[in-house]
Amino acid sequence: MMQFSDYIFYFFSSILILASLKVITANNPVYSALSLVLAFFSAAGIWLLLHAEFLAIALVLVYVGAVMVLFLFVVMMLDINLESLKKGFWSYFPFAILIAGVFIVEIYLVVSDKFFLESQIESFGTSKSNTHAIGNILYTDYLLPFQIAAIILLVAIISAIALTMFGHKSHKAIDPKDQIKVRRDDRIRIVKMKSEKR
Amino acid sequence: MEEFLKQYLDPTFAITFAYLIKIFCIVIPVMISVAYLTYFERRVIGFMQSRIGPNRVGFFGLLQPIADALKLLFKEIILPEKSNNFLFFLAPLLSIAPALAAWAVIPFDFEMVLADINAGLLYVLAMTSIAVYGVIIAGWASNSKYAFLGSLRSAAQIVSYEIAMGFTLVGVLMCANSLNLGEIVMAQQGGISQWYCWPLFPLFIIYFISAVAETNRAPFDVAEGESEIVAGFHVEYSGMAFALFFLAEYANMILVSILAVIMFLGGWMSPFSFMPDGIFWLLAKVAFVLFFFLWFRATFPRYRYDQIMRLGWKVFIPLTLIWIVFVGAMMQTDYAEYFH
């Protein structure tokens, strides 16, 4: 006998699988990106079923709300020629099989681990607020890895900004300081003259 | 209500049915407020500009929004020839759906909330952050340069101001020690002096300005900028499809106002301890905040695009970060009680 939540699980899972297939098969890159958004959404739905509301909402907030928006932003402006992209498909194929094999082995190793026993998942689901639970663990047991991750992100941000700053100076941006300093006399000159006779 | 329905229906159906009724009890007042917010906006801006505004349809023009809605319903929806049909019709839906979905966690009074979830604040942030898809897809699917430029501007703007907005909410959740919107309001019990707009005053101002930018309202309405790019992302839309964008914009406006009230102005709590709390305080405060949106539109000239970006990234984000650190530091001192 299937419970109502089982139906919801299969509903989200089937959407997730279909959307993921669409990501790699769609002809239009914009459709691929939007399918990825749908896939993230369905994954968030499945996480909600596991009572992992913090992770689910964070997935929507970070990946759907920020990362994919910027992705779409770029994809929409690119004029991608799919024919030239498809050209090397068969020459890359063995390499792709190799990577897929490595992934499958890795996923098998992770899922067959003791953390993924059903009893473990149940025990997590009963805790009251998992935002509290994650915060507690993150800032006590895993404080150092968390800080290291934060510093790596900071370095990435700084380097990304530095790349745009020390490149070519072809932009026409004006320093806001100079804009504020502008006075009326810098821009206009009132000329007084007598009216001329005809 | 669930118990009442269970007398007549199967228990599972009764629960579903009760939720449906509750959803209608939220959505229909929201829709009516949206309609009358447009009327109010036209009247207020009219008076601010020494005009009269709509006053013909019905008593004082009160039927004007209904006449407008009917007009939009019966207008033809024009589909641009080279647009992407599927996405063209999906975009208005993607913009109205999150604008309404976010209302699920809004507490209107003590325990008067559809979904009392622990991570309510995060949920609202997530919902408002996906509203941008409607705008982006509309701009791209229209296959028009003005629509595309408008959508790119709007997307960049919404993504930038979302960060500042998120940081202001971090300040609120530090004070309230909870992500549940009801608990955030309960933490502000005890009159006007306990409201979070005082200890978090800079965050309150930044939240409000970011909210104006998030909803693409004047003076941050470069996404529409009619003098430069006609009407921005919805230039190709007509009839009901346009009306959905319009509804979403105003529903979002009311949503960010109600959030400002819940997080900084004490929600349904009365400003003076001798007066009773109740939903009317919430509504009065929301009306007060919404008036500022209209006032801004009538008063300020439009920002230039680079100025908007500078304000968001170089002024608001550093300021919020500084204030979060300040609040965190103050909580460790003897003054901690002022920040709870």
Among B317, B311, B308, smallest CA distance to B163 is for: B317
Nearest to B129 among A4, A30, A61 (CB): A61
Q: Nearest CA to CA, how far is B276 from chain A (Å)?
A: 31
* Interval B310-324: pLDDT, tens: 888 888 999 999 999
Q: Nearest CA to CA, how far is B130 from chain A (Å)?
A: 5
Distance CA A74, CA A62 (A): 17
Contact B310 A176 (CB under 8 A): yes
More confident residue, B154 or A119: B154
Contact B155 A69 (CB under 8 A): yes
CA B269 to chain centre: 20
Residues of A whose CB is below 8 A from B133: 37, 69, 72
Distance CA A34, CA B87 (A): 10
Query: For residue B91, what is the nearest residue in chain A, using CA coordinates?
Result: A34
Residues of A whose CB is below 8 A from B161: none
* Interval B2-14: pLDDT, tens: 667 767 777 777 7
* Token code pair at residue A101: 């094999």
Distance CA B100, CA B128 (A): 10
Is A38 a residue whose pLDDT tops 60?
Answer: yes
- Contacts by residues A73-80 (CB-CB < 8 Å, ≥ 24 positions apart): A73/B136, A73/B152, A73/B155, A73/B156, A75/A29, A75/A30, A75/A32, A75/A33, A76/A30, A76/B136, A76/B140, A76/B148, A77/B152, A78/A29, A80/A29
Model's pTM, two decimal places?
A: 0.85
pLDDT, tens digit only, all 340 positions of chain B: 666 776 777 777 778 888 888 888 888 988 889 988 988 888 888 888 888 888 888 788 888 888 888 888 888 888 887 777 888 888 889 888 988 888 888 888 877 778 888 888 888 888 888 888 888 888 888 888 888 888 888 888 888 888 888 889 888 888 888 888 888 888 888 778 788 888 888 899 999 999 888 888 878 877 776 667 777 777 788 888 888 888 888 999 999 999 999 888 888 888 887 777 778 888 888 999 999 988 988 888 888 888 888 888 888 999 999 999 988 888 888 777 777 7
Residue B84 has a CB neighbour count (10 Å cut-off) of 18
Question: How much is the ipTM here?
Answer: 0.81
Residue partners of B22: CB distance under 8 A and separation at least 6: B1, B114
Distance CA A127, CA A137 (A): 13
A to B CB pairs, distance under 8 Å: 64
* Token code pair at residue B179: 């992500």
Residues of A whose CB is below 8 A from B233: none
Instruction: Scan for tokens 């239009």, then name that residue.
Output: A28
With H, G, I as helix, E, B as strand and everything else as coil, classify residue B214.
helix
Distance CA A180, CA B44 (A): 32
Among B328, A153, A127, smallest CA distance to A137 is for: A127
Query: Mutating which of B124, B127, B136, B142 best tests the A interface, going by the most A Cβ atoms within 10 A?
Result: B136
